[in-house]
Structure 1
């Protein structure tokens, strides 16, 4: 008989309402001592996955024994080789013992929702484009930063899945592994409320219009839709374990993939959840900057695959090591082409590709393993983490490789930039953890802050998917339009702001592609605009960039 466990029927603290243990000798005591810190006392997962039968049914005892003994490469699961064989077997027996079925409803979410009573604070935020949200995992703190200033700090633990920003940069939302979502009000300078969307969370996404938050949940497997006051709107049971959910900003939809089944789910503005079939699960994936393709892999199949979003048609595949993480890649534009670069699991290599042609340009062996490649439009290099004291830098134009040592002790694990490339924010972990602020152009340290266990950093511009097409369009503008046009002032030609406010999208596109004919249609005596060769992707990025100057503009490029 399966019991139904609901948070509403038990005490407010989750650790109190889960009597989840079937005692398996002293395996429970061993588990609490060695495993609970990451996997939770109740085995429901904290910073690592749940260890309950629902998650382990396809794993043999031999496999679990090996994982505990040796760890899992390219993850936070380390080796417990110092345990005896008997102790490892007891832990395996315990984590495979049954627990009750876990339920979590809309009513549970509503009851968890609470306003936070911290007093407002004057942040003196000068430019939201330079906003950085930093996670100190060890101290269970969130820092709100601008450039090299810490504006605020507040407590919130188990952060996982990436901070998301509202369209105007007035709020941001922070997800936690144990299902909580917190909202922070930048205008008031305070965390304002939180709600628990599920027991174990994978990540969140924010709709491009700023109205809805989608929460992908592993336990129970579900997609939860909240409004931005954290009230629950809809909840959908899912047929598999979600990999992640992301917004498709141009369609105002969400897309979700699964770790264990070959399906893709779409949640549309009308509130419908629909499913499409693909050939293999996408455990780790990313979306191209123009939101036309899903690029991903599954660790079992060991290949990179590309699916067109509009019809889920596979357009490319190549047998390479799987991706190590969600959105492990970096994008850039150079010499008329869009590119991406990514790390690979269990590999010391970085692969560099032409986007949209799906051509492998080069593989570079960095001599170490890592998770991410990162850059910014204002930064000339790709920064590749390498599990050592610094980063491998790859010049985006020449592909020249060099190295920079940043930590001076400890391991440099993750980097984020501001959009103009003035600051690199580097997490250094070790005996003396710290957040290092670095000049990514001159490669000099600017400042550092002590931190317990520094983790993710999130910039408002670089972590807003709705702004990414505009970022790429800005690069096309600098390469092909800057000589005659200015963004906001008249030059040889009208400003992009004037064009955006006086021309339709269709007319702008036609003038770029057919300037002579467009001049005649507009009644001009002569055409002054040369014909510029652009690819469909260059044209689309450029149109998005031009249209971003219509009305109130949140992100403005540097002077």
Structure 2
């Protein structure tokens, strides 16, 4: 008690010195992940705008945060220094962080050496290309899905986050980093086309059904940025504000191809937004309003899109969509249930018992006994929940050796591949029969090391799995015999994305 009183008196008497020490501690321990300007890197932005709803900041600094790469610093910083660092993070920046359409446009850089090839410069199937995101040194490897040769390896913006998005013809891919950079790459030419910073702290991207528009979901500023896929120019930059005036971060944006729209998950308001990507479609649908009714950032192109609001009981995150995109399932902030929202009706129609923080964004579907089912892992418990998508009945809960993060399957495979991403069994990959829902085998070729994220080739004949370590590898398996056929050294390979599976919305691929 005496120590705390002395500490309080010291900080109160010498606030500038405490602030300077906290700034030094931030630079030494936090800047590598959260950015020197506190505006985000591999980790989120650490400013009042993003920390206002977070409780127990001192405890997080001291103990770390479960299910993330955030380590604790209790063995490096005293309680007083942790308290001062928490105060420093919650203090406003010297200047409010804004990122207008003009600033976006000013950041745009096109590759002067880019030359579009009239046909692929390689001999393999361009639809069977798989991109491997290597977070260890911020690169992407381009794999031939037949020979598994590395066709190219190119540098990406720092801290790529969320899955890359392909144009409908599979030729171009867009990659986004946590600090808002969007990169365009030509797979046929094996060249970067250009890049632009569409936000300061961004979550993911989505591409429109016609391939014309790319939407960027932003935490900072709380906004949706829409880019032209042709030249990365800014089509529209719209601050996101709920009906009651609450400013909201956008936790994710999704493509709804059959609806010709984007669907937005609002982090801080009980609303879902649907934004029409075809002005004619939006104009005739109930509930849509012209984009000019929104408060646009000066300099953005007016009137391109229209938006409708769907009210929910509480904010929902991490969406999963039925294959026809009529319904979505979201999870509440507590992570103890799933909520089914019918997008045609514009309201909630069911609740699902999904405790344990379901990771719906990794959900996949398949046909079982003549009915369509979906499955989702849980981040806080070793369970895969399987749900009947016709009556929303919980079919089964498959017990696993720990919480998982990713699921994958394929129409031509009888199996679901489910990792055990968190905990002491993170070196395991379960292979599950899609009909019996039983674990057929568990692969663990790298004891004590993270083995995660499966992806199938175009025809479903092979499965690629990541040794998720700095000196890691992509391991290729025969999808029928489950035998290893090849290893490709990689620098902490995380996600792997097959062109065909992504652009055709293959059932076994999360969207």
TM-score, normalised via structure 1 length: 0.76
Structure 1 segment 407-422 matched on structure 2, within 5 A: 407-409=445-447, 410-422=449-461
Deviation string 1:360-410 (CA, Å, 9 cap, x unpaired) is 111122121121222111221111111322211210011121333243242
User: How far off is 1:79 after superposition?
Assistant: 3.1
Partner residue in 2 for 1:430:
469
CA shift for structure 1 position 119? 6.0
Structural mapping, 1:336-485, within 5 Å: 336-387=370-421, 388-409=426-447, 410-430=449-469, 432-464=471-503, 467-468=504-505, 471=506
Matched, 1:64 2:57: yes
Q: Does 1:197 align with 2:198?
A: yes
2:175 aligns with 174
The offset of 1:323, in angstroms, is 4.0
Structure 1 contact 125–146 (Cα < 8 Å) conserved: no
The residue that corresponds to 2:87 in the other structure is 93
Q: Which residue of 2 aligns with 1:133?
A: 131
- CA separation in 2, counterparts of 1:325 and 1:34? 29
- Tell me the distance in 2 between the aligned counterparts of 1:196 and 1:431: 27
- Aligned residue in 1 for 2:256: 248
In the aligned structure 1, how far is the partner of 2:319 from the partner of 2:232?
A: 27
What is the aligned partner in structure 2 of residue 553 from structure 1?
A: none
Deviation at 1:274, TM superposition (A): 2.8
- Secondary structure of residue in 1 paired with 2:23: helix
Cα contact 1:27–1:87 (8 A) shared by 2: yes
| Contact 1:372/1:414, CA 8 A, preserved across alignment | yes
Which consecutive unaligned segments of at least 5 residues does structure 2 have? 1-15, 242-247, 280-304
- Report how far residue 301 of structure 1 moved: 5.7
| 1:22–1:98 Cα contact (<8 Å) kept | no
Tell me: CA distance 1:23–1:427, structure 2 relative to 1, closer, same or farther (3 Å): farther
- Aligned-partner SS, 2:19: coil
5+ residue gaps in structure 1?
Answer: 1-20, 475-559
1:299–1:322 contact (8 Å) kept in structure 2:
no
CA distance in 1, matches of 2:17, 2:178: 24
Paired position in structure 2 for 1:513: none
Distance 1:324 1:128, change over 3 A: farther
Is 1:163–1:172's contact at 8 Å kept on the other side of the alignment? yes
How far off is 1:118 after superposition?
4.8
Is the Cα contact below 8 Å between 1:22 and 1:94 reproduced in 2? no
Alpha-carbon distance between aligned partners in 2 of 1:442 and 1:234, rounded to the nearest angstrom: 50
What SS does the aligned partner of 1:67 have? Answer: helix
Q: Look up the match of 1:76.
A: 69
Q: What root-mean-square deviation, in Å, do the aligned CA atoms of Structure 1 and Structure 2 show? A: 2.1
Partners of 2:17 and 2:330 in 1: how far apart?
38
1:274-329 per-position Cα deviation (integer Å, ceiling 9, x unaligned) = 32211111122211222111111023262111100112221211333254545121
Deviation at 1:448, TM superposition (A): 1.4
- Partners of 2:340 and 2:369 in 1: how far apart? 23
Match of 2:320 in 1: 286
C-alpha separation between the residues in 1 aligned to 2:88 and 2:360? Answer: 31
1:398–1:419: structure 2 CA closer, same or farther, 3 Å change rule?
farther
Instruction: From the superposition, tell whether residues 222 and 326 of structure 1 become closer, same or farther in structure 2 (CA, over 3 Å).
Output: farther
Q: Is the 8 A contact 2:108 2:232 kept in 1?
A: yes
- Equivalent position SS for 1:283: strand
Instruction: Pick which of 100-109 and 83-92 moved more.
Output: 83-92
Q: Deviations over 1:218-241 (max 9, x none)?
A: 110111111112011111001201
1:461 counterpart SS class: helix
Partner of 1:212: 213
1:116 to 102, 111, 125: 111
Q: How many angstroms apart in 1 are the aligned matches of 2:46 and 2:470? A: 29
TM-score normalized with structure 2 length: 0.83
Note the C-alpha offset of 1:439.
1.7
